[in-house]
Structure 1
Amino acid sequence: MSISTALQGRKALVTGATSGIGKSVARNLSRQGATVVLHGRDQARGEAAVKEITAEGGNARFIAADLADADDTLRLAAEAGAVDILVCNAGLYEFTSTAATDAASFDRQIAVNTRAPFLLVGALAPGMAERGRGSIVLVGSRAARQPAPIGAAYGASKAGVEVLTRYWAAEFGASGVRVNTVSPGPVHTEGVQAMLGEHIAALDATNARGRAGAPAEIAEIVSFLAGPASSYVNGAVLFADGGERSTLPA
């Protein structure tokens, strides 16, 4: 485990931080000295994640909230308080055909993946701007640029994230607040494992590296975008996908 002080004195809010990429992001930011507010829906999982961080000497707490609910999302922002780093990682995906995606499913995906970051940025970025510093990192998806026969609603919700990145970079950049997105390719997470089951090995054939990524690898990129080493990076969408293939290998 590497320890750094690059983010000493900074406070971060990470959504979807009880598993997968979000949990790795929270731990990585803590290891660099940040005080971390973890978000999730499950209190027990949240408390367990906080214990892991504090066992390493970090400073963390957990707030439960449902990002599909606008009022609960704003409550999360209020309870988190002033933050220097916002990582919008929480995501909802329902990979179905357009005909099989009803209005409720579409609304859920847009609410969690696009509206929740919009509300959190609206609530927290002005404070960053007043203080003259801040970093917002959104977690996108290659689904925003690589169409598939299913998952159109999810792809649309993540395309919205990329558009918002550029708008917010323009809106807040002059005030010292940077906004960037990391766009992962396939990553071995608990959610992906549950979705693919025995077909999980197929992920390793989807890119030029010949393997899917690990949550910790994405967390390193998020920490780079959140920290001072990326001080001149603003409005960028950083692809972390191992190198896309146009077709799968035979």
Structure 2
Amino acid sequence: MFSLATKTAVVTGGGSGIGRAIAQVFARQGAVVHILEHDEAAGQATVATIIAAGGTAHVHAADVSERAEVLAAFQHIGPLDILVNNAGIAHVGNVESTAEADFERVYRVNVRGVYNCLFAAIPLLKAKGGGAIVNMASIAAHVGITNRFAYSMSKGAVHAMTLSVARDYLADGIRCNSISPARVHTPFVDGFLARAYAGQEEEMFAQLARSQPIGRMGTPDEVAALALYLCSAEAGFVTGCDYPLDGGFITLNN
């Protein structure tokens, strides 16, 4: 079950965290994985782990917010079966404290980046007779999160794009779904705590973990397992859906 043998997959932002876990799991299940990564060295590090485990992977240096770079990477990759739009950035602030430059930066990566990759990938998926797309949304697309104005905007857009693509390409055999994680323990979380709460990292980590009703943060591997299912033949009847992977945050946090 959940084999991706003979499949070619693109994972954006595969150099660390959730993207790295998805790339590794997909390769382990037989896919040839192409990583689009702004930080080429980080992408190469993921590729090295995949090759060491017997898989096949390649990295393409590309900023997803730059149309020309994305199109060049997808042209080089060629025929495609799977796209995972994982690359994204965060921002902390409400509408008053969000500078225009920060708003634009989040929009460029989290919204325009997803659009650019969809624009490049869908003709390739159509040419193969169909395929699967997974977009990384967030619980912030569904509920109010304090001081996440720009980030919530961007993830709401990702959720809406998911529904639009799922509807528009039904006849082309393209399935499109999204995943909405709550807090996931990644290097980003550790870096944020080190910067914002120096000397209090352990205490603040425990506080953030407790904000999920289940009592802990998710893991990148748990997100990767769901992405694997959604991109596999076993999910062939699933499209236009969003999957909260949130430890009960949306429905039980009251």
TM-score, normalisation: structure 1: 0.93
How many Å separate the matches in 1 of 2:143 and 2:41?
36
> 2:32, 2:170 → 1: CA distance?
24
Question: In 2, Cα distance between the equivalents of 1:208 and 1:100?
Answer: 29
Residue 134 (structure 2) pairs with residue 127 (structure 1): no
* Residue pair 2:213, 2:253 contacting (<8 A) in 1 also: no
Shift of 1:227: 0.6
Q: What runs of 5+ residues in structure 1 fail to find an aligned partner?
A: none
TM-score (norm 2): 0.92
Identity of aligned residues (%): 35
| Amino acid corresponding to residue 246 of structure 1 in structure 2 | N
Q: Which amino acid aligns with 2:229?
A: F
Question: Residue in 2 aligned with 1:37?
Answer: 34
Query: Which of 194, 217, 224 is equivalent to 1:219?
Result: 224
Deviates most, 72-81 or 164-173: 72-81
SS in 2 for 1:202: helix
Partner residue, 2:248: 243
| Cα distance change, pair 5–209 in 1 and its aligned pair in 2 (3 A) | closer
Within the alignment, does 1:92 sit opposite 2:99 as a pair?
Answer: no
Three-state SS of the structure 2 residue aligned to 1:187 is: coil
Whether 1:116 aligns to 2:113 is: yes
- 1:159-181 CA-to-partner distances (Å, cap 9, x unmatched) read 00111111100111221110000
Greater CA drift, 11-20 or 195-204:
195-204
Report whether the alignment pairs 1:205 with 2:202.
Answer: no
CA spacing shift, 1:5–1:141, aligned 2, 3 Å: closer
In structure 2, stretches of 5+ residues that fail to align are 195-200
**Conserved? CA contact 1:82–1:124, under 8 Å:** no
| Structure 1 residue 77 displacement after superposition | 2.4
* Aligned positions, number: 244
Superposed counterparts of 1:1-250, under 5 Å = 6-197=3-194, 198=201, 199-244=204-249, 245-247=252-254
Please tell me the residue identity of whatever aligns with 2:70. T
Residues 108-149 of structure 1: CA distance to partner in whole angstroms, max 9, x if unpaired?
111111111112111111221232120000011111112133
Corresponding residue SS for 2:146: coil
Letter in 1 for 2:238: V
Q: CA deviation at 1:5?
A: 7.1
Structure 1: how far apart are the matches of 2:166 and 2:101? Answer: 31
- Equivalent AA in structure 2 for residue 185 of structure 1: A
Alpha-carbon separation, structure 2, partners of 1:98 and 1:224:
37
Q: In structure 1, what residue type is equivalent to 2:25?
A: N
8 Å CA contact 2:2, 2:229 repeated in 1: no
| SS of equivalent to 1:182 | strand
Is the 8 Å Cα contact of residues 68 and 108 (structure 1) preserved in structure 2?
A: no
SS at match of 1:36: strand
> For residues 149 and 206 of structure 1, do their structure 2 counterparts lie closer, same or farther at Cα, with a shift above 3 Å needed?
closer
Alpha-carbon distance change, 101 to 75 in structure 1, aligned in 2, over 3 angstroms: farther
Shift of 1:66: 1.4
CA distance in 1, matches of 2:77, 2:206: 38
In the alignment, the residues of structure 2 paired with residue 82 and residue 105 of structure 1 have an alpha-carbon distance, to the nearest angstrom, of 35
Aligned-residue offset at 1:68:
2.9
Q: Which moved more, 1:77-86 or 1:212-221?
A: 77-86
